[in-house]
Structure 1
């Protein structure tokens, strides 16, 4: 869990999602408005919902709604002074700034108000090098003393803003009236392929002297249509599902491939993660686990007396994190119907890019979708995105489906 901060993309937290492929902010996150906290990665959302902190906040909210009027007034005054209320006020301010920035205000209308903003579309490289233009109009139908203070192009990637220039048709005119709308030209010039996104902000002076901003998104994609067609995804992205895994089954192992074995001077023993540490790492949210680790494992300053325990615990935490990271490559509901000799073939998307990284001699865990059979397969060969695995002689995959674990 994390608190609200600038590292998370606001389009993900408050909006429908981020469509900017060049966005460098964190996207694997989900906002909990009850706790005013961010679940990162988003996969921890279910754990957060079941956590004691979230349940307590939900219960507190429901209790406040059902209190008698006299008690509700006292509880409400107490609530207004609480840290939780101040956190919600900050959330409301952030959401309002996000939602209102692109809305027309005080009778001022800026063109390109739809979600795509000022979209130049796909621009061939030669045209982008020479420069392309888009027009923007600022108009009003009400008679108010509203004037344009300035325009500014902003971007999370600093050099993107410099590629856009805003040119006014009449630089001497700053007052916006029904008879005299303002016209602008947005000029883009850049000689490299890519996606370039920025934000154009118009700052106005209102009738009461208060400035306000109306923003529009700027988007240019420089490239060739035929090349982009080749790079287009063939299917929509789907987050990998994780199959339900039964841990108490007997595991039958296949045979290792024949290859020269390294003769070690000394075999190192195994050091499994202690069950107490596993319980802490899997209990509640990441924030809860961190608090428990600080209390139970790292509650003293590092010294010669505790440094072995200190770093041993850190290594176990790192091992647990590595195992969880590998679980993202788990495969669900697959079959092993292709067989070459004693080996079964499995197609693994991303294998050629080492996602996951598999080498000859590695083992993979396989369990039937019904959770009644478990096997350890040994990798004997790799060809492009196919791995060839040897299983125990009792492995009978015909007509069955399996979950695969690479961790």
Structure 2
């Protein structure tokens, strides 16, 4: 069944515009409540977390109304990172976890993400069934079976203790760390965890006002953290996004290491101690060819998936792998968590610095990236430029030209009418020729179709 409202990471859009309205959130809550409370009993519960967006109050209230109307008992966590919701869903024996966040998007956007009772994001099939309930009349609970709601004050602390436990008793004493919280969900827990582990902490992006999440800070704007590293003589920087499920690491000079570099470091280190299950790292088709070559040289494997951390996790669970992620900074370590966790990944990087007594710069660039180029072409929603013979011919020629030198990826965006043209090639001139040539043909075909 095709999904109308759910994208690759829940429902997302501009707050107070369809489908991200209070009325729709209430219906989504009621549909999810009816889906999970399918045996009529009153023992069902859901945990709800949120980031720091102003609209989070509205959606929290609307979801609570919808859920309790169908008999679900609601536990409100307040502002916590997305991975905390995944963790607390299982530890608090909830049937459902909900995170209200639009991740790295600007403050005017918001979203609703769902976690099942196992702490993993809901499957496409479960989301489709919830959508089917949205299309019809949702049966409310009888008056005596309406659910209850209450605030949970210790969710952040439970999550913090779980994170600290992943370091196996190591101290971060002697490390000066810049932590950029993106004015988001981790603005309190991230500096607290680092300080309690012994680090000297320089927090930035830790003064949310409801409207400044991801604004000039965080993983999508690391220059603020880079400036703080240089100004304070810090050893390393950790840049989170608004809901703290992704991370960028900055070395002592302010240079950024993306998710590919972090995954490469972890995969190699884990393999040396037989921790990397089946000698395989899971990443998406967007991860750099340099990462794949690095792993191959180490006798390891890279399994690629479609874009989206949910598809990475699905492949990890199906294959029994324990490390995966995305170039954008989602790092998934299923030995510790059920979803991407930026702060957890940052702590594991700091642990590597302590264990090896090496600088961030010595650890953060483990492979030479192959030049990568990505361009987007917009097209009319009812057009099919990839079906044009001229485009097919250009793609075939580009693939032939790149044989042994790089790779080509052409795909439609899952959220908007865009054709994404991405190529990697050791020859920078050929890289531009290939991408620009295909883009020109796609643009021409899109114009004709329109």
Q: Same fold (TM over 0.5)?
A: no
Tell me the TM-score normalized by structure 2: 0.20
Larger radius of gyration: 1
Tell me the TM-score normalized by structure 1: 0.22
Larger helix percent:
2
